[in-house]
Structure 1
């Protein structure tokens, strides 16, 4: 979809803003005046209140050179921020994407906390994100299901500043779309080997990619990762992606580590059949890391960043890991595997250790669709966040809030850690009773974080994908690409020169 910045645009559809109470903002007032008050009359006729995402579609009002005028609410003007503008633009694109219209004109207004240029760039971001579709395997789309919208014009005075920012934001959108595509792919297409090959393509944009196969991981002693992988005919992989953008090549990188279970049956501790198809998305953490690496490379971030993704398929094959097995990790610590469906923490144990051992990072942040327990606690609105470092935790919260990918910090502590002690090994991979499930997962991973290393764990099980009815205009009803914007902002705020 082509995004253009203009001072005055014309097309099939125009979208304007209204605030709480149904009050038209400046662009809307101008159109209403041209229409002889017909737009305001239409909004009152349907009891329009200007709430966030509320839409009135006015067809062919006299005096206006558009076939449709979309009046879309942003809520309280004083509370509306850049994300409100993005969602406003997203609603407009969703309304017009398959409507037959070819050109949409967005007329964003400045808000108390958002300048006109910022509103323009946020509108571009929202329009791009809302345009995403995963139609790769749909061969019989009806004409009315196919996108017709090809151009979005953002009409503001002095568009140069907005255009410059939007061009940088385009790299972030590319990263988000990459992550969404990965999560959306079916598991017979995306498996550890093919996932690794897709990541090799990042070399074309300046990322150094290295792939460890079974033999290499065996040589390194990655018994936890290989234990999960052994149940599948598809061998596991561990992929590193290095971006060296800092002016100081010796500057320690920040390490992003992702769980990449390309399909999770639960192994011998097999999951119920209902909803198991969604387990193709159990590589959402790895997808977020890959998408972030693509985004920072495309925008040429002035930071050193390494992405490490552990890729396995968790299957109940004849050689599958059994409950009761004890594995030895790369760190030398041993794990009693009491439940083979608590596999994400096992592969992260080796991946997190490898990231530290190989790259000596300034900080480690891991992302994983780790536990159903975090969905019970936080639903689909927040990721669970755990950290051993206050400064890192606050930086993540700040980045998450700014990018509309919220986190909620959950506790760590000795009492929780004690629950994974076992007389048979250094630790077990579950607590053995249904308590504090997401916390137990975080405590387990923490045992593989070296002393003095700032670390954070994001449990994104509720945010990496969202099945069923879902009304976020910036995201499809499945893969969200959650984590890319958060991590990109964190790197920009904290780790760039």
Structure 2
């Protein structure tokens, strides 16, 4: 059931009989000055004296009252000091609130907010909406005992007069971004025995029909005719046929030559091939299609929002398994681009699928700029942990656009250096390139630069989300859950919006 979320001005609000009054604020003193109920202001004065609730970031405090014969709960949420409050504080602490609301089985929520200096009200409402929807997600479709969410309606109530039409547009944009994120999460969380390359292609075709973008799927023989030997080599060990999935959204018919290209890594399962992964790390390898999930979620959001942009996205979907047909260390293979690659490590497979997908999107779809996004290297986590996505790029202006986009969705990015010394490391074998430089360090950089050898001077961004797309631990954002985070879907939308 679609949750009803809307924005209202306080003077126009009539209380729900069963609503739970919520106040989201940036400092305790401002709360005292602006709460819409004198009785609660008196309670807050007592709380202030006892220091039971001070408005510290992340604090929750629940008040239970009897109003007109019914129970009403007011949950106070602290955002911390006003000067230090940022828009993602709003997302994270809204998420803490929603978790408490779910726990208390609340159906109707009045969320009282005030204007903040940290962001415009449009961005704040968008962030609140994203957080509400993303927080309610739980991957439990295969469980008998499912987690029940009773929350049906949220009113975001401003105390100052606001342009309600504009802010309700923010609700809808936030909803589309959150639902795109959940598309990505749901795809990545699916087990590999369910989501094969063919099953993925069918899901994308349905999403295209539902959301308004064109989908074309190429089979193994057609992929071979494109000359995509590198991509096909990775999938040779699996009995499940690879699929090349192409998504097209042409929203700017007056500027048909300007096309943004998105390429997502689509390994629906990666056992590592003959360079076999350990059992401890292999169970999460259904997540090796995190890049594919990101571009699919982004395309759904872009099309539903109706952006006046031209976007083409490509996913080279396959499985990296072992059989008598699987590729081996020491093999030399060709690419659609014509460059040859010596296979040093069959577990460095993602870049082999990506380079053919990048060549395809440049030569066949005529894109102007390219963004590839992939769960590519363990090295990126060793370098910068899970707090940010690592980036390799050949274009300062394009990277500036990425940084601006990241600020709006708080999916952080960090740019790696691309010194010539790194580039030399991928050109040391018996072919034009080697697919792995071994344990010599800078693995996230050299992997990105390997893909960069195929971008044909197009402005290009490489996003390594290996450390941010999936977590078996406590997520570093309140609105994410264990498993897939959907990182990249909102970021790619924000890039496309500004492109």
What SS is found at the alignment partner of 2:109?
Answer: strand
What is the RMSD computed on CA atoms of the aligned residues?
2.1
User: TM (normalized to structure 2)?
Assistant: 0.93
Q: Any unmatched runs of 5+ in structure 2?
A: none
Out of 139, 142, 148, the residue aligned to residue 137 of structure 1 is 142
Deviates more, 1:274-283 or 1:162-171: 162-171
Structural mapping, 1:416-455, within 5 Å: 416-451=422-457, 453-455=458-460
How much does 1:122 deviate? Answer: 3.1
User: TM (normalized to structure 1)?
Assistant: 0.93
Distance 1:359 1:60 in 2: 62
Matched, 1:356 2:362: yes
Contact 1:18 1:72 in 2 (8 A): yes
**Alpha carbons of structure 1 residues 117 and 440: separation in structure 2 relative to 1, 3 Å:** closer
**Alpha carbons of structure 1 residues 446 and 117: separation in structure 2 relative to 1, 3 Å:** closer
User: Could you say which residue in structure 2 is the equivalent of 1:17?
Assistant: 24
How much does 1:58 deviate? Answer: 2.3
Distance 2:391 2:490 in 1: 16
What SS is found at the alignment partner of 1:312?
Answer: strand
How much does 1:112 deviate? Answer: 1.8
Distance 2:475 2:49 in 1: 27
Structural mapping, 1:245-394, within 5 Å: 245-248=251-254, 250-394=256-400
User: Could you say which residue in structure 2 is the equivalent of 1:153?
Assistant: 155
Distance 2:281 2:325 in 1: 25
Out of 394, 397, 405, the residue aligned to residue 411 of structure 2 is 405
Deviates more, 1:334-343 or 1:163-172: 163-172
Matched, 1:461 2:466: yes
Contact 1:257 1:308 in 2 (8 A): yes
What SS is found at the alignment partner of 1:178?
Answer: helix
**Alpha carbons of structure 1 residues 423 and 115: separation in structure 2 relative to 1, 3 Å:** closer
**Alpha carbons of structure 1 residues 146 and 243: separation in structure 2 relative to 1, 3 Å:** same
Distance 1:44 1:167 in 2: 41
Contact 1:85 1:108 in 2 (8 A): no
Distance 2:126 2:68 in 1: 29
Distance 1:468 1:436 in 2: 25
Q: How many correspondences in the alignment?
A: 488
Contact 1:382 1:405 in 2 (8 A): yes
User: Could you say which residue in structure 2 is the equivalent of 1:235?
Assistant: 241
How much does 1:437 deviate? Answer: 0.8
Q: Any unmatched runs of 5+ in structure 1?
A: none
Contact 1:35 1:63 in 2 (8 A): no
**Alpha carbons of structure 1 residues 268 and 28: separation in structure 2 relative to 1, 3 Å:** farther
Structural mapping, 1:451-490, within 5 Å: 451=457, 453-470=458-475, 472-490=477-495
How much does 1:139 deviate? Answer: 1.3
